[in-house]
Structures are given as C-alpha cells and as structure tokens.
Amino acid sequence: MTASAAPHGYTLALWTATAVTSSEQGAPGAAEVLALLAGATLAFVALAAAAHGTAPMTPDSSAHAGTRIWAAFHLPMAACAALVSLLLTRCCSGPLLWGLVGTTATAVYLLGVSAQFLCFAVRHDTQQTQTLTHQRFTTPLALDPAAQDLLFRQAGTVDSFADEPVTDDQIEAVYELIKYAPTSMNQQPLRIVLVRSAQARERLAEHLSQGNRNKSAAAPLVAVLAADHEVHGELPSQFPHLPQARDLFAERAVRERSANLDALLQVGYFIIGVRAAGLAAGPMTGFDPEGIDKEFFSDGEHSVLAVVNIGRPGENARCTRSPRLTYAQVVTTV
Ligand SMILES: Cc1cc2nc3c(=O)[nH]c(=O)nc-3n(C[C@H](O)[C@H](O)[C@H](O)COP(=O)(O)O)c2cc1C
C-alpha cells in the first residue's frame, strides 16, 4: 500500500495542503491558484538547483522487497505538508499565502523523499560493505563489479554440485566466448572431451587419484582438457598472414612445448568461461596422465592437461577461501 503511494505522493501532498488551506481561508481565486502553482514551481527549481550533481543515488527498482518500505515516507510527508499549510494560514492570507503553501508543501515533500533516498543509501551501504569494498579496490577495472564477483571474487573451486544437468548448449556458449582469447600464432591447441556416459565416466575414474574420484562422480559434467600437438597443421587457415608459420613447428619437441603452453592458457580461459556461464569449475590434475591419454586419445598426439568438474554449485559448496599472495609479494617493477 505504501509502495503504491510513491508515484502519487506529491499529488497527495499538494492536494492535502490545498484542502487544508481552502478549509481555513475559503476557495482560492484565480490569482491564488496561480500563486500556488508559482510557489510549487519555485520550490522544485530551487531544490533541483541545490541538489544538482550531489544526489547520492537514485532509487533502485530491483531493490530487495525489504527496502521498498521506504515508500512509506510519502504518506508522512503529505501529512507534514498539510500541517505546515495549516500553520501558514494562521500567519498570512491572499495570493501570498497560496504562494507560500505551494512552495512549502513542495519543499517539505521533496525533502522527505530525498531523506528516503538518503536512508536507503545508508542502509544499503551498511548491508553491502563488500560491494563498497570492491568498488574501492576495483575503480581502475572496466569490468562491471557483478561480473568481477561472478568470475573471480565469489567464484571458487567447487567439489559438490546441485542436481542440475550441464547442457551441450552451455558448453558451446562457453567455447564461443573463450575462443577469442589469445594463443601464440593463434594456434588454439586445446581439445575438450565431454565425459557424460556412465561408461566413459568409469573409464576416466580409473585414472583419477583416489581423492578426486568422488568429486568427479558428483559432478553433472566432467571435461577432459588436452593439448593437440599436431595443431600446427591448422596454421595456414588460422594464421594466414604468415604462410611459413607451419614450418616453425617442424620439430616435434618445439610443437609439443608450444601446444602444451597454449593449451594450458586455454584451460585457464575455459575455467573463467565456465564461471561466466554461472557454473562452477573444479579443475584437477590429480590423475595418471599417460592412462588418460591412452584411454581418450589413442593417436599419441595429445596430452591431457586437466580434468574439470562442471556444474551449478550445490548448497554449502563453497569452502573458506584459502589466502592469496599479495600484490607486493608477486609484482616487482624494474
Ligand atoms: C591446475 C589445477 C589443478 C588442480 N588439481 C586439483 C586436484 O587434483 N584435486 C583437487 O581437489 N583440487 C585441485 N585443484 C583445485 C585447487 O586446489 C583450488 O583451485 C585452489 O586451492 C584454489 O581454491 P579456490 O578456487 O576455491 O579459491 C586444482 C586447481 C588447478 C587450477
């Protein structure tokens, strides 16, 4: 009820103030109505000029339902406007009175509504200190703070998942996003095997370390990520502006090293891409790589780099975040 008063709050305040003044002074003439209008306009313009550029926030239509109670401010403000008008009728009369009623009713109402926004802002700030923290820390970042949280701050390695499938469409969307991330000479050696069937899961589980088996078994989807060592064959189409690029990888050791490095980068991109889909990724390297290579890549030209459990995090899935090295520990400037 109070929330629905919000869009009509000012009308309510001005009508009430006008009604109180009329009941004390009699119905207004044309000059008095114009004075009322002029007074209201004056208050609007004066307050707008005073507040220009300083408003702390605008109301958020997506705010939590609990915050909308602040709409209740509209009703007491209409009552305040009426009270002030009643007091004014005791001091003056004629167009001056009506002008003052217009100005004060408008000012009282608008100041009340501003107080509402201010209270909301203070409440919002206290409840969301975390949001403020990252606003402070991330000012130089162009990425939206909610996206920063989704990809990094609130994302974590998850071992327990909700009972909700991960679809091929979701993984395709992840790939369509991460394929734009860079690799050397645009080689893109990452290969992804989606392990879905019970039989394939069993084949994979045999090669996982004991501690990782249950984690994979609990995941709606498991992806085996590997490097393709023969990817240089794609160079003529993927790096066309350097026709001799393929020759640079003639030596097996060179192309293996290059493919492993680039594919590892792509593993990182993949984990972030999974998070971008609102899913959690549990990367693992606790496995027998030769066993997985034989099991899933019989050509001898691939090497597994990571096995990633994927799914929507289950309830209580997040553990406490382990500490991270500080900027000062990691970064040096020379
Ligand atoms: C390349 C890689 C290999 C990992 N291997 C395993 C693993 O074999 N088993 C496991 O339980 N967690 C594994 N993890 C998870 C890490 O322990 C975890 O990401 C790290 O502790 C950070 O945790 P957080 O993401 O929840 O902050 C691996 C993570 C990465 C990136």
| Same-domain pairing of 108 and 190 | no
Output the CA 219–ligand 1 centroid distance in Å. 15
Quick one: which of 251, 257, 245, 286 has its CA closest to 189?
257
Q: Is residue 135 part of a domain?
A: no
Q: Is residue 142 part of a domain?
A: no
Question: Tell me, what's the pLDDT at 314?
Answer: 87
| Same-domain pairing of 161 and 121 | no
Ligand 1 site: residues with CB under 6 angstroms? 156-157, 212, 283-286, 306, 321-322
Q: Check: CB of residue 307 under 8 Å from CB of residue 222.
A: yes
| Same-domain pairing of 103 and 169 | no
* Protein residue with its CA nearest to atom 19 in ligand 1: 157
Question: Tell me, what's the pLDDT at 61?
Answer: 45
| Same-domain pairing of 187 and 120 | no
| Same-domain pairing of 70 and 176 | no
Reduced DSSP (H G I as helix, E B as strand, rest coil) percent helix, strand, coil of the chain, to 5: 60, 10, 30
Q: Convert the pLDDT of each residue in 100-120 to its tens digit.
A: 888 888 888 878 777 766 666
Q: Is residue 42 part of a domain?
A: yes
Q: Convert the pLDDT of each residue in 222-274 to its tens digit.
A: 999 999 999 999 999 999 999 999 999 999 999 999 999 999 999 999 999 99
Q: Check: CB of residue 245 under 8 Å from CB of residue 239.
A: yes
Question: Tell me, what's the pLDDT at 33?
Answer: 84
* 67-81, 113-127, 137-151, 306-320: least confident range: 113-127
Q: CA 252 to CA 56: how far, in whole Å? A: 62
**Closest ligand 1 atom to the C-alpha of 268?**
31
The total domain count for the chain is: 2
Question: Tell me, what's the pLDDT at 122?
Answer: 59
SS (H, E, C) 293-314: HHHHCCCCCEEEEEEEEEECEC
Mutational pocket test of ligand 1: of 284, 305, 309, 319, the residue with most ligand atoms within 8 Å of the beta carbon: 284
Output the CA 186–ligand 1 centroid distance in Å. 27
Q: CA 137 to CA 134: how far, in whole Å? A: 5
Q: Convert the pLDDT of each residue in 165-194 to its tens digit.
A: 999 999 999 999 999 999 999 999 999 999
Question: Tell me, what's the pLDDT at 319?
Answer: 64
Q: Is residue 143 part of a domain?
A: no
Question: Tell me, what's the pLDDT at 67?
Answer: 46
Q: Is residue 313 part of a domain?
A: yes
Output the CA 80–ligand 1 centroid distance in Å. 60
Q: Is the pLDDT of residue 54 over 70?
A: no
| Same-domain pairing of 175 and 270 | yes
Could you tell me what percent of the chain has a pLDDT over 70? 84
Mutational pocket test of ligand 1: of 149, 150, 151, 157, the residue with most ligand atoms within 8 Å of the beta carbon: 157
| Same-domain pairing of 210 and 286 | yes
Q: Is the pLDDT of residue 141 over 90?
A: yes
CATH number at residue 251: 3.40.109.10
The identity of residue 158, as a single letter, is V
Q: Is residue 148 part of a domain?
A: no
| Same-domain pairing of 90 and 224 | no
| Same-domain pairing of 260 and 310 | yes
Q: Is residue 138 part of a domain?
A: no
| Same-domain pairing of 250 and 312 | yes
- Within 13 Å and on the Cβ side, how many CA atoms surround 184? 18
Q: Is residue 166 part of a domain?
A: yes
* Protein residue with its CA nearest to atom 7 in ligand 1: 284
CA-CA-CA-CA torsion for 255, 203, 317, 211, nearest 10 degrees? -90
Question: Tell me, what's the pLDDT at 318?
Answer: 66
Q: Is the pLDDT of residue 69 over 80?
A: no
Q: At what angle do helices 129-137 and 94-127 cross, to 10 degrees?
A: 80
**Closest ligand 1 atom to the C-alpha of 306?**
1
Output the CA 276–ligand 1 centroid distance in Å. 18
CA-CA-CA-CA torsion for 49, 52, 57, 61, nearest 10 degrees? 60
* Protein residue with its CA nearest to atom 13 in ligand 1: 284
Domain carrying residue 72: 2-127
| Same-domain pairing of 103 and 176 | no
* 18-32, 69-83, 116-130: least confident range: 116-130
User: Locate tokens 């240089």: which residue?
Assistant: 232
- Provide the token pair at 309: 């459990």
Question: Tell me, what's the pLDDT at 291?
Answer: 98
Output the CA 192–ligand 1 centroid distance in Å. 19
| Same-domain pairing of 94 and 16 | yes
